[in-house]
Amino acid sequence: MVNCNSQTQPAFDGKKAYQFLVAQCQFGPRFPGSSGHQQALEYLKSELGKCSQLVKPQNFSATNPVTGENVVLTNLEATFHPAAEERILLCAHWDTRPWADRDSDTSKHATPILGANDGASGVAILLHLAQIIQQHQPKYGVDLVFFDGEDLGQEGNPQTYALGSQYFSQNLSDYRPRMAILLDMVGDKNLKVYQEEYSTKFAPHTVQIIWDKAKKLRLDCFVDSIGYAVWDDHIALLQKGIPCANLIDFDYPYWHTTQDTPDKCSPESLEKIGRLLVSILYD
């Protein structure tokens, strides 16, 4: 006997997400003002445009804190099922660090990073998720936001980071999704996602939903304890009262180094995060 009212969740394919990760890295470093940044922006517009007719760029300017150069930054927002009142915001940053200031080789500290995990991994998951949402309507309206300028900051000065989410939050009207999830550094092969401290403090219900889902799905990469406090794109959203949880594996030895390359990431890790998001949107 078949239950005709049952719906099978769409499958998230980690290999497809990994292809999106590699494609971004083929543009090279994608820091504001670079040719790779402009090429990646056009690529994101093109890929999102295949899935949604509501893709909106949000342009703003910022100053490179090291060079003093004025650069144009762009957030991208893709809206799905705009008539739905209950909405979920999923986000990631698409820019990369202009300097490998954590590299063990000090001669490379001025070298831009490729950002396979730090930037491309979260974006890759959302690009494949856009394909899924376009083909299968979820329970909620979904807004995918790709923040620029997250990694343009100066070490030790957190306000100079996360410029895209700050600008986005400052220009919100009455937009209040029921929950938001930020993806940052979620593709490394040895993925372990601890609960992030600001998320648990200011969005405990969202964190609980995520970890309950992860337990149900038997996703062993989720660790049920607080691991670190990270100043990231979710901070500006939390300050606006949007309950946002940051999914991040901050124990990544190639962070802000020239070795943050696709071979350090895996389709399996991307698929675990993707399965979690699918479960939240469709279960």
Reported as a pLDDT band with limits 50, 70 and 90, residue 111 is very high
Q: State yes or no: pLDDT of 1 exceeds 60.
A: no
Which one, of 144, 140, 143, 162, lies nearest residue 152 by Cα? 162
> 119-138 burial string, b = 16+ CB within 10 Å, else e?
bbbbbbbbbbbbbbbeeeeb
Percent of the chain topping pLDDT 70: 98
Q: What is the pLDDT of residue 68?
A: 85
Q: State yes or no: pLDDT of 93 exceeds 80.
A: yes
Q: What is the pLDDT of residue 67?
A: 81
Distance CA 21, CA 70 (A): 28
Three-class SS of residue 115?
coil
Q: In what order do the strands lie in the sheet with 244-248?
A: 55-63, 70-80, 141-147, 87-93, 179-184, 244-248
Q: What is the pLDDT of residue 7?
A: 56
Comparing 63 with 97, the larger pLDDT belongs to 97
Q: State yes or no: pLDDT of 57 exceeds 80.
A: yes
Q: Are strands 70-80 and 141-147 parallel, antiparallel or unpaired?
A: antiparallel
Q: What is the pLDDT of residue 51?
A: 98
Report pTM. 0.96
User: Would you state the torsion angle of the CA atoms of residues 81, 79, 52, 6, taken in this order, to the nearest 10 degrees?
Assistant: -40
Comparing 156 with 218, the larger pLDDT belongs to 218
Q: State yes or no: pLDDT of 73 exceeds 80.
A: yes
Q: What is the pLDDT of residue 99?
A: 94
Distance CA 52, CA 134 (A): 7
Q: What is the pLDDT of residue 164?
A: 97
Distance CA 46, CA 181 (A): 23
Report, as an integer, the average pLDDT of 79-108. Answer: 97
Neighbours of 12 (CB within 10 A): 22
Distance CA 187, CA 111 (A): 22
Instruction: List, in order of start, the domains of the chain with CATH numbers.
Output: 14-282 (3.40.630.10)
Instruction: Indicate the DSSP class of residue 117.
Output: T
